[in-house]
Structure 1
Amino acid sequence: MNAEQLKAACLQRLDQRVAEHPAGHQGKLAARYLIRARDGDAIEIMFEKGPRGPANLWVEASRVSAFLEHTDLCHRLAPAATLYAVKGANGKPVYGRHSALKSMRDLAHADLVCIRIEALTELDRFLDHLQA
């Protein structure tokens, strides 16, 4: 499965298993979702579906830190402390993350984890963990 096919399969799976975020999707670049955990808690996630980058999922770090300790999923931390740390060409601080995260209340300024999805089974394991 190539990257484009993987992203399409991930989007299909997300559409089947979770609800679209009230902010909606961001055109061709990102899909925003809300997952309902068994306890009823709503968990925001954002999936990068753009043609240039990998199939990345963004989620609040506190939701997945224990899960990631026991998996081999490729991921990176994106701490809130690094937001606005870089200045743009005009000298003003820039957000420093995918712009689709800015309209998500729980993710916009939180410590996040970016998980690279390399197979549909990895997405299923991730969703199973959040919905447990």
Structure 2
Amino acid sequence: MMVPSMTRSELKAACLALLDRAAVEHPAGHQGKMAARYVLRAGSNERIGLMFEKSEKTKAYLWIERRFAHGLVSRDIDHRCYPANELYKAAKEGEKPAYGRHAGLKAMRDLANADLVRFEIVRLEQLKTILSILASPSA
């Protein structure tokens, strides 16, 4: 018997509950209905900034600084890299340069201008895996 998958809003609610248990709110705070900002303590005792897109209009995206994502990009989780050197580029010739990332990242000094990876979470187990790897002593 197949277990029905979660709706986007159910998945996001479950992800937020998991993040609330595993991490603390980022000093920049959460961003209303758009983004939840967190700090996770790595197994190496480093602080890892995380931002989760909680808007109903977007997929469940988790943003992490690329230097912490090295053990995650080879997993079965779709991701996209956002290099810092591509910030503030015009989308088209003659247009004004734009930030090029989720605006909720701008308030996070640790993530705003860093090389980032954005993971698309489609199953709660994927987020559990990410948090487990980040919190491991080798992270």
Q: TM-score range by the shorter chain?
A: over 0.9
* TM-score using structure 1 length: 0.93
Q: Deviations over 1:26-76 (max 9, x none)?
A: 00000000000122210001000001110000001111123322x111101
For residues 100-119 of structure 1, what are the structure 2 equivalents within 5 Å? 100-119=104-123
- Runs ≥4 residues deviating over 3 A: none
Q: How many residues are treated as equivalent by the alignment?
A: 130
Unmatched 5+ stretches in structure 2: 1-5
Query: Is 1:41 matched up with 2:37?
Result: no
Secondary structure of the corresponding residue to residue 67 of structure 1: coil
Letter in 2 for 1:131: A
From 84, 91, 95, the counterpart of 1:80: 84
Question: Which stretch of the first structure deviates more once superposed, 76-85 or 22-31?
Answer: 76-85
CA RMSD between the two structures: 1.5
Q: How has the CA–CA distance of structure 1 residues 82 and 7 changed in structure 2, closer, same or farther, with 3 Å as cutoff?
A: same
Answer 1 or 2: which has greater helix percent: 1
Q: Aligned-pair distance for 1:87?
A: 6.0
Percent identity between the aligned chains?
Answer: 48
Q: Match of 2:29? A: 24
CA contact (8 A) 2:79 2:117 kept: yes
Moved more, 104-113 or 28-37: 104-113
Aligned residue identity for 2:89: A
Structure showing greater Rg: 2
